[in-house]
């Protein structure tokens, strides 16, 4: 079993280091780890945010554990050299088109949410975000206009792209509450019209799943008003980026949520995938022990489950994380004072008490 480790920038290396301590504690047999450069760290060493050798390492692995990318030192670089291109490049080069972002309240920790406790308690949803298309990967550019320089970005989805994410979403919903909400802006966008029609078409293959549709503005409102109505949400790349950050604040902190990016490739042990916290590199707090490693640790749990077939170990990690949060081990993001390393210590100690 080969895991490629790409810690990246800012708080990425700190949170990944804690996830690796947890992995070490599990003593899984036959595990090989490789570490590669991505993001600003890679740019400064290899003049590119996603060097060819990193891509090769990614292709040779069964799974990737990713930290975060982005750094102030690269703010003035042209877009193709910016650290963010590392994660966008990995997603597209590796065909990782389905991003699963679960957001569920931690029992007894409703007070961490920005919502009222009984509203927070009702959250148990999963965002299936399309990851290889939309305005993220459309043509873009700058041109002259009567109003001065004009930036433009093309947004598109074709039926094949919508169909494959639709199948992932319906299958995911089948394994959950059998309710799928497709989020679009079909009252304004042609992209969304094709999206919606294709969702309805694919839905005929899954008669047990109740499919409904919601405009993205309404979905943003419903997510804070009554998040308990959602089970599985499927949406495009841009809307999914925004709604998943919002869902994390409803749970408590962006430092708690993990994600899996999956494609079609199967390995000997499961589905090949890239796993990362949904938070960014937060360069303003990097190196100060202020980052919450929980999202990275939970990303490791998702990696073990989806890519390595280690369900028992994944569940053990999730229980350990729930345990330390119930014990009140909080970092600054949750109003506590535990450092990144202390939270990692607590998770490792808790793991030893769980068989
Ligand atoms: C995310 C991030 C990325 C995205 C950035 C870093 C390019 O915000 O994974 O949600 O927009 O997809
Ligand atoms: Mg984002």
Residue 231's pLDDT is 98
Q: Quickly state the pLDDT bin for 110 (edges 50, 70, 90).
A: confident
Coil, helix or strand for 352? helix
Q: Which residues pair with 98 in a beta bridge?
A: 130, 262
| Spatial contact of 235 and 130, defined as CB atoms under 8 Å apart | yes
142-146, 254-258, 267-271, 327-331 — which is least confidently predicted? 254-258
Q: Helical H runs in the chain?
A: 12-26, 39-46, 52-60, 84-93, 117-121, 159-174, 190-203, 216-225, 237-251, 294-306, 311-326, 340-352
- What is the pLDDT averaged over residues 18-46? 97
In the reported structure, the alpha carbon of residue 278 is separated from the centroid of ligand 2 by a whole-number distance in angstroms of: 6
DSSP letter assigned to residue 231: S
Residues 6+ apart with CB under 8 A from 226: 119, 122
Mean of pLDDT over the chain: 96
Residue of 300, 279, 236, 269 lying closest to 97 (CA atoms): 236
The single residue listed with the structure tokens 């990713």 is 66
Model pTM?
0.94
| 5, 65 contact by CB (below 8 A) | yes
Predicted confidence band at 253 (pLDDT cuts at 50, 70, 90)? confident
27's tokens: 């003593």
Q: What is the pLDDT of residue 112?
A: 80
| pLDDT tier, 147 (very low <50, low <70, confident <90, very high otherwise) | very high
Atom of ligand 1 nearest to the CA of 241: 10
Distance (angstroms) between ligand 2 centre and the Cα of 236 equals 13
Calculate what percentage of the chain has a pLDDT beyond 90: 92
Q: Residue 129 carries which DSSP code?
A: E
How far is residue 329's CA from residue 217's CA, in Å, rounded to a whole number?
Answer: 35
The predicted structure's pLDDT at residue 108: 79
Residue 105: predicted pLDDT: 82
CA 327 – ligand 1 centroid, Å: 31
Torsion sign over Cα 220, 229, 164, 302: positive
Instruction: Give yes or no for residue 241 CB within 6 A of ligand 1.
Output: yes
Q: Which atom of ligand 1 is nearest to the CA of 68?
A: 6
- pLDDT tens per residue across span 44-78: 999 999 999 999 999 999 999 999 999 999 999 99
Nearest listed ligand to the Cα of residue 299? 1
- The separation between the first and the last C-alpha atoms of the chain, rounded to the nearest angstrom, is 22
Asked if 261 contacts 91 with a C-beta cutoff of 8 angstroms, the reply is yes
Q: Which atom of ligand 1 is nearest to the CA of 237?
A: 12
Catalytic annotation, residues: 136, 185, 217, 241, 245
What percent of the chain lies above the pLDDT cut of 70?
Answer: 100
Confidence of residue 144 (pLDDT cuts 50, 70, 90): very high
pLDDT at 20 over 90: yes
**CB proximity list for 120: less than 8 A, separation 6 or greater:** 105, 110, 112, 113, 250, 251, 252
pLDDT at 37: 98
In testing the pocket of ligand 1, which one of 74, 133, 280 has its CB within 8 Å of the most ligand atoms?
280
196 vs 201: CA distance, rounded Å? 9
For residues 250-263, give the mean pLDDT.
90
Distance between CA atoms of 37 and 6, rounded to whole angstroms?
Answer: 6
Residue 40, ligand 1, Cβ within 6 A: no
């Amino acid at each position: 079993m080969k895991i490629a480790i790409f810690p990246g920038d800012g708080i990425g290396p700190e949170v990944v280091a804690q996830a690796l301590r947890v992995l070490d504690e599990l003593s899984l047999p036959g595990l090989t780890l490789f570490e590669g450069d991505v993001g600003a760290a890679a740019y400064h060493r290899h003049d590119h945010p996603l060097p060819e050798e990193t891509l090769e390492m990614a292709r040779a692995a069964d799974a990737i554990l990713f930290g975060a990318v982005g750094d102030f030192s690269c703010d003035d670089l042209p877009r193709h050299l910016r650290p963010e291109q590392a994660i966008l490049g990995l997603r597209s080069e590796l065909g990782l088109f389905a991003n699963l972002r679960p957001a569920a309240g931690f029992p007894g920790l409703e007070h961490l949410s920005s919502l009222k406790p009984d509203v927070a308690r009702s959250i148990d949803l999963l965002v299936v975000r399309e990851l290889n298309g939309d305005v993220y990967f459309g043509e873009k550019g700058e041109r002259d206009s009567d109003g001065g320089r004009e930036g433009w970005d093309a947004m598109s989805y074709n039926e094949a792209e919508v169909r494959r994410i639709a199948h992932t979403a319906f299958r995911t919903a089948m394994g959950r509450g059998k309710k799928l909400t497709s989020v679009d802006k079909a009252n304004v966008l042609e992209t969304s019209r094709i999206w919606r029609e294709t969702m309805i078409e694919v839905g005929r293959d899954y008669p047990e799943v109740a499919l409904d549709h919601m405009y993205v503005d309404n979905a943003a409102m419903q997510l804070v008003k009554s998040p308990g109505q959602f089970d599985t949400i499927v949406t495009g790349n841009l809307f999914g980026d925004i709604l998943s950050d919002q869902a994390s604040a409803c749970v408590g902190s962006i430092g708690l949520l993990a994600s899996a990016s999956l494609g079609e490739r199967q390995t000997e042990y499961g589905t090949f995938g890239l796993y990362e916290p949904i938070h960014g590199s937060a360069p303003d707090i990097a190196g100060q022990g202020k980052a919450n490693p929980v999202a990275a640790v939970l990303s490791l749990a998702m990696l073990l489950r989806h890519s390595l077939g280690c369900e028992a170990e994944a569940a053990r990690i999730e229980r350990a994380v729930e345990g330390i949060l119930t014990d009140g081990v909080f970092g600054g993001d949750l109003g506590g004072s535990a450092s990144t390393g202390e939270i990692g210590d607590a998770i490792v100690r808790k793991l030893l008490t769980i068989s």
